[in-house]
Structure 1
Amino acid sequence: MVPAIFTLAAGAAGALLATRLGVPAPFLTGPALTVTLLALAGGRVGLPPWLRDACFVTIGVNMGAGVTPEAMATATRWPVSLLLLAAALAAILGLGARLLRRRFGFDPMSALLAATPGHLSFVLSLSTDVRADLPRVTLIQTLRVLALTLLVPFLAPLLVEGTLPTTPPGPDPMALAALGPLVAGAVLLGLGFRKLGIPAALLLGGMAVSASGHASGLVEGAVPAWLSTPAFVTMGMLIGTRFSGVTPRMVVSALRASGLLTGFAVIVSLGAAALVSRLLDIPMLTALIAFAPGGLETMMAMSLLLNADPAYVAAHHVFRLLLLTLALPILVARMRKLQDRR
């Protein structure tokens, strides 16, 4: 109970400060930074599972509100974009792992898992079953998610004309009579996804139910701000809680490797996003969020806060996770055979 109170207080203060300073996506970046600093200072941080789950459902339902018939009409143009995303993932994974081995002395298995662009929970579960440096892999992956959470909103103004609004305009809030059934359906579907082992189950369940209702025209409007804003703040706090138990010395030792790896991933993602934007006439900001190898839930929240196309972003991040889910076990099995031969 006490860690949750400290975390909530730090997250609320971070959101308020970021809003006052005019920081893009303040409800996400502010709490992420303040809770991270609290954790690194030795503070006890954490959030109850029910609050985390409620956050995922709410953000998922809000994401689905952007899946309009007009947005779905552009889906025929996405296969080319998904193909370029796969190429970017291969470059980040292959060259990033090589970079970690040669510059920082990582063993091949740890380098592979640390360089994986996303799917943190899956990567960590694999790390516990193979001979890999689990603390090092965990720290580098967590630093990557935090860095991308903080970098993307500040890169965004450089890629669009004018100034980004801290709270972008969106659809009118949906009626409570429609919101209640959507949330109930989202929870049921999310729990079903969770039993099937699907990543970000509650978030994807929320988006699936909401998207179906909005795409069919049965439901209109977004989640009211009084509900969506706390969900974004909670998401930021969740990122910060991943640094619980991590000392500043551990962070410093992993910072160089994580910074170089994240910088490389950002360059590759920027290049691929720019190519997609030019070829398919997709807004650069939307393409960047879709190609940024951050956490699924974090990037989905980012798409809403920065007024990007949530359907396009969701399709690409789900595709990235599915691709990694299929490819990583194969790569790990091959790496393990090489380790056994040695």
Structure 2
Amino acid sequence: MKTLFEYLLPIPVAALGAWIGHLTGLPLGELVGAICAVTAVSKLGVPLRMPHPFVAVVQLLLGISVGSIVTVSMIGELGDVSILGGLLICMSVQILVGYHWLRRAEKWGHVESLLGSVPGAMAAVMTVTGGQGAASGRIAFVHIVRLLALLLVVTLIAGGHPGGAGPSVGSLHDYLLVLAPASAAVVTGYLLERLDMPAPYMLTGLLYTAAFNVEFPEAALHVPDPLALVALVLLGGLIGIRLKDITLKDVLRYVRAGLVVTALTFCATLLVAAAFSQVTGRPFLTLFMSWVPGGVEVMTAAALLLKLDPAFVMLNHVVRMSIIHASPAVLPKRLWQERPLA
């Protein structure tokens, strides 16, 4: 009974925090509120755990959310090698500078430095990091700091908060459309999980939903907002539990690490975007907005406000998120093995 209580309590706590965060009207207020509420309750000594099925649900919804944005036109545009090549080079530079700072200056381990330097996709990273504790907590903290800092920068560039369409409950048809690829993803993900593949439900959710969208473009599959909110609440609970061992001294160190990694990522994106602007002839600001880490919806909305080819911006961010979501499953396992600092 005690273990069941520890498993169930994080959900209402995270939901309450998400509701308070929503009332503030701040960007990503729901996620930040859920994280703060669960962390606060954990700090009071209340034992909280996040059962594996909940983590699998977050993985599944993340994969479906990214896959639902993929369209036939996007697949066609990938024929332009310069887009994919520039994006891959920019991501590689972003990871390289962030990794070396965390590894050499902050003295982090190899795996946590690698995960902490991944450009964006905090939710995907947090479902791969495994257990809780100091290592997982500081990875989460660096991503939170970078997420908020980059959101602030993009908002300033766009001349205000880049708003989008209001939340929608969705129709029964929307939920039934999600059910088909989600069911196939759960079955395949379970099989891949038995083979020790990292984040299997995220990969299968992404692939099945993208394939469904490409095969049946008229269906217009998208993830209803309530499902996205469920993922947000569960993710907030997951991160909050992992932050329970973070002290005030740790907070100051991790804020510094997050800000430095954000600045390095920002500068790397500026340089690569400037170089590729000269090579391809595309506007510098369009490339910068396409390659700087950020949420697909927020970056696309900002591109709309700035009249910067929103379709191109969305394509790059969808590809970036797809690469990050799929990489744990396709990269060699030795990459995720800890290495001593030379």
Percent identity between the two aligned chains? 15
Q: CA deviation at 1:184?
A: 0.7
User: What is the distance in 2 between the residues matched to 1:10 and 1:171?
Assistant: 22
1:237 and 1:112, CA in 2 relative to 1: closer, same or farther beyond 3 A?
same
CA drift of 1:287 comes to: 2.8
Q: Specify the SS of the correspondent of 2:293.
A: helix
Unaligned residue ranges in structure 1 (runs of 5+): 101-105, 126-133, 291-301
The equivalences for 1:111-130 within 5 A come to 111-116=109-114, 117-118=117-118
Contact 1:71–1:311 (Cα < 8 Å) also in 2: no
Name the Cα RMSD after superposition.
Answer: 3.5
Residue equivalent to 1:289: 293
C-alpha distance in structure 2 between counterparts of 1:161 and 1:66, whole Å: 26
TM-score with structure 2 setting the length:
0.73
Q: d(CA) in 1 for partners of 2:128 and 2:20?
A: 34
Task: Report if the CA contact (8 A) 2:112-2:136 is conserved.
Answer: yes
Partner of 2:45: 42
Deviation string for 1:109-128 (max 9, x for gaps)?
Answer: x5545533255787779xxx
Letter in 2 for 1:157: T
Letter in 2 for 1:268: L
Shift of 1:216: 2.6
What is the SS of the residue equivalent to 1:289? Answer: coil
**1:54 maps to which residue?**
57
Aligned residue number for residue 182 of structure 1: 181
Letter in 2 for 1:311: V
- How far off its partner does 1:167 sit? 5.8
| Aligned 8 A contact 1:11 1:236 in 2 | yes
Q: Please say if 1:23 is aligned against 2:19.
A: no
Cα distance change of structure 1 residues 176 and 121 upon mapping to structure 2, 3 Å threshold: closer
Residue 31 to residue 137, structure 1, CA distance change in 2 (3 Å): closer
Moved more, 135-144 or 194-203: 135-144
- Pairing 1:205–2:204 present: yes
Asked if the contact 2:21–2:31 (Cα under 8 Å) also holds between the matched residues in 1, the reply is no
8 Å CA contact 2:62–2:202 kept in 1: the answer is yes
User: Structure 1, residues 162-220: CA drift from partner, whole Å, max 9, x if none?
Assistant: 42337667997654442221111111232244344433221121111001111233542
Could you list the per-position Cα deviations for residues 26-52 of structure 1 after superposition, in whole angstroms to 9, with x for gaps in the alignment?
Answer: 332221222222223323222332222
**Equivalent residue of 2:16, what SS?**
helix
Cross-structure match for 2:324: 317
Report 1:164-313 matches (<5 A).
164-165=162-163, 175-218=174-217, 219-244=219-244, 246=245, 250-275=246-271, 279=277, 282=286, 284=288, 287-289=291-293, 302-303=295-296, 309=314, 311-313=318-320
Q: How many residues align?
A: 303
Tell me, yes or no, if the aligned pair for 1:4 and 1:47 is still in contact at 8 Å.
Answer: yes
The 1-side partners of 2:332 and 2:249 are apart by 27
In structure 2, what is the Cα distance between the partners aligned to 1:145 and 1:303? 16
Query: Is the contact between residue 168 and residue 306 of structure 1 (CA under 8 Å) also seen in structure 2?
Result: no
**Structure 2 matches for 1:63-78, cutoff 5 A?**
63-75=66-78, 76=80, 77-78=83-84
What code does the residue aligned with 2:253 have? A
Is residue 169–residue 224 contact of structure 2 (8 Å, CA) maintained in 1?
A: no
Alignment CA distance shift 1:49-1:307 (3 Å): farther
Q: Could you tell which deviates more after superposition, 56-65 or 218-227? A: 218-227
Change (3 A) 1:89 1:306: closer
Contact 1:157–1:163 (8 Å) recurs in 2: yes
Say if 1:139 and 1:254, in contact at 8 Å, map to a contact too.
no
The amino acid that maps onto 2:268 is: A
Alignment correspondent of 1:84: 90
